[in-house]
Structure 1
Amino acid sequence: MTFWKLQMRTAQMMLEAQTVMSLRLMGMAGILPADPGENARMVTEKQTAFAQAGLAAMGAMMAGRSPTVIYGHALTPIGRTTRANSLRLGKAKR
């Protein structure tokens, strides 16, 4: 069951990431309104999310966890970031 949950979390993260990329590209093209700092934000947030993922995975590895648990720990910060971005960018600007 753990493997199934990880597959679903991965699929959700990938769908949210695609949504974020599409919304950001539409913002860059001027189709949607975009915040002025969005381009810089999309770079820095990846660095933060991947650093957190690496630390979480390393901690789980050092604790002797199974590969699926290690992957789950690494996926959490990345999924949290993609989810937050898809919600934030998907809201209509007024």
Structure 2
Amino acid sequence: MNNSFNFLAAPSAQIALMSQMTRIAIESQFVIGMRVLGMMGMMNQSPGEPFRMVAEKQAAATESLFAMTRAASRGASAERVMSAALRPYGKRTRANSRRLTGSR
């Protein structure tokens, strides 16, 4: 039997992936809320924020596709491929959350 493909992931890999997805979901909802408040004029927002919103999604999608392809071509498990695909989005949601709250 060929063991080059691991179809059953370790529970720790599944938990790590769920943790990554949960963090991204929470941070992205926070960022959306902060941006809506800025668009409503309830908080200060840089003039380029709406453009940035769109441009960063395009860059994250491209980076995500390359990361996912790279991981899959190296024979990574499904969890590692998903984690690689989510990493660019997580990096951006974390940065946006820090930038919009002014915390570093």
TM > 0.5 fold call: yes
Q: How many percent identity over aligned positions? A: 36
Tell me which amino acid in the other structure corresponds to 2:45.
A
Q: Identify the residue that residue 28 of structure 2 maps to in structure 1.
A: 17
Confirm or deny that 1:91 pairs with 2:102. yes
Structure 2 counterparts to residues 1-94 of structure 1, below 5 A: 1-91=12-102
Unpaired runs of 5+ residues, structure 1, are: none
Unpaired runs of 5+ residues, structure 2, are: 1-11
Distance across 2 between alignment mates of 1:22 and 1:40: 17
* Count of aligned pairs: 92
Tell me which amino acid in the other structure corresponds to 1:65.
A
- Which protein has the larger Cα radius of gyration, Structure 1 or Structure 2? 2
Superposed CA RMSD: 1.0
Cα distance, 1:91 vs structure 2: 1.7
Cα distance, 1:85 vs structure 2: 0.2
TM-score (norm 2): 0.86
* Higher fraction of helix: 1
